[in-house]
Structure 1
């Protein structure tokens, strides 16, 4: 891989955003309703030229929200698509909601309380995995390292995180949990699902529109 080719556009995009934010005013407490209120970039202290340069660089679909207003967008912001690893903060938001609702005593509770098969894996090592370990990618799930000992990006651990949290803790499908905890309270406008690749594929991949994800 040519590292310069990969880093160059990212660095340029970051500079574009930094320049656009340079003259931005202090934030205010404005939140969207059923639909985003719109403002021009100039109205919230942003320069539109770097934003246009950013969209030409990255392509695809995207938007920028500033002080509770939709101020810039490109592509089809209503189109639902797989967001890949960007769904992790949403999953951990659901984890904190589970704690808030009393479904879990804390993020340091053991996952094996809800998935007892962990007690028999790796000579009992994986029985020590906590929700904090899964959320921080330090679970060591299926690996030699003990929980909390090392960071490792682990798709199998992420699948465990999603499956046990939705099915065992909330007792429902991921899409239904998303609907009741986030989509309806936040008034999502577009289709969403944790079956991004259809019902024939395993659940756990989030498809959502850009404007709802914002």
Structure 2
């Protein structure tokens, strides 16, 4: 099959100019192997221009991996400023293939995959289950339309609950309260209803925290333990960590740290409809359902079940992508029609302009696909 570790890797490590790509090891130390890129359907000249531009600028980019048809064709790392989800201050890190990186809200998409696994095991309630029915201790909150909120609404971020994550270090940021509140579910469902459930998208990491709490209750396992047994170990992912909050709870919405190569395995898993080396890790039906648009986000983007959705242009035609996004420019893009996976890690935390640059880079990479 197409696991990253079992495949040839074409790597350019560091920020030196020039494009390196190869279809088989060892990696070429210099130049641009146009034949190898062309073999995977890229316009080699166009893709090398993109990578040269990356080397010359965008200092926030820490890592870039591109895989086509299951073959890694580009892998690039460099040093940069980074800070963990708990840190106020950035520090210099020499990133490489063995360096874990904060994934931030990509953690939400991984939690979504775990929900699908639990559903197949009969351990997750149906999507139309009222969430407050899962937390009888919150019966006093069944007012103002909250009782209508279902699991589906939390997965698609259409609960209707008011939620504000603007200003990462603003004390009014609702996500920050999730780190220390004794009951995350009570805090989340204690927000006022800004819209009827199911009618409007509003980004809400609290919904993911509630889903993770429900998973832990139903599976009898902490989220990281369930992830290790059901998802990471079957994929051969062993070097990772899931940060916890002040009360020892895993940060389901932002705490996962992983090596970019392992994140690419997650991308390949989704691209392969949940299958890995002949084994169905995540149910195919769940992968497909997760990538069906459930809400219109605006700016041409949509949202499924903890996955972002949109379109890009390649080979003269539009193609749908699915993606996991994380603050700072953490990205996992999957383009099924192109059999393409792109992973990016970066340090542009709380920087909207930096996120725009990262997204533009993905579009340029996709546009370099010739066939």
Report which of the two has the higher share of helix. Answer: 1
Question: CA 1:96–1:52 in 2, change beyond 3 Å: closer, same or farther?
Answer: same
Report which of the two has the higher share of strand. Answer: 2
Question: CA 1:178–1:36 in 2, change beyond 3 Å: closer, same or farther?
Answer: farther
Residue 33 of structure 1, CA deviation: 6.4
Aligned position for 1:187: 236
Question: CA 1:184–1:158 in 2, change beyond 3 Å: closer, same or farther?
Answer: same
Q: Quick check: 1:155 aligned with 2:236? A: no
Aligned position for 1:49: 48
Which runs of 5 or more structure 2 residues have no equivalent in the other structure?
A: 11-21, 23-35, 78-95, 162-190, 265-371
Q: Distance in 1 between matches of 2:122 and 2:50?
A: 43
Question: CA 1:100–1:52 in 2, change beyond 3 Å: closer, same or farther?
Answer: same
Match of 2:250 among 188, 198, 203: 203
In the alignment, is the contact (CA less than 8 A) between 2:242 and 2:257 conserved in 1?
yes
The residue matched to 2:145 in structure 1 has which SS?
helix
Q: Quick check: 1:85 aligned with 2:133? A: no
Q: Distance in 2 between matches of 1:94 and 1:113?
A: 21
Q: Quick check: 1:101 aligned with 2:103? A: no
Q: Distance in 1 between matches of 2:156 and 2:116?
A: 13
Q: Give the superposed CA RMSD.
A: 2.6
Residue 34 of structure 1, CA deviation: 4.8
Q: Distance in 1 between matches of 2:70 and 2:51?
A: 20
The residue matched to 1:72 in structure 2 has which SS?
strand
- The superposition leaves residues 71-102 of structure 1 with CA deviations (integer Å, 9 ceiling, x where unpaired) of 11111233212211222222211111121111
Give the TM-score normalised by the residue count of structure 2.
0.44
The residue matched to 1:150 in structure 2 has which SS?
coil
Aligned residues: 182
Give the TM-score normalised by the residue count of structure 1.
0.72
In the alignment, is the contact (CA less than 8 A) between 2:66 and 2:73 conserved in 1?
yes
Which runs of 5 or more structure 1 residues have no equivalent in the other structure?
A: 1-29
Mapping of residues 54-73 of structure 1, within 5 Å: 55-56=54-55, 57-58=57-58, 59-73=61-75
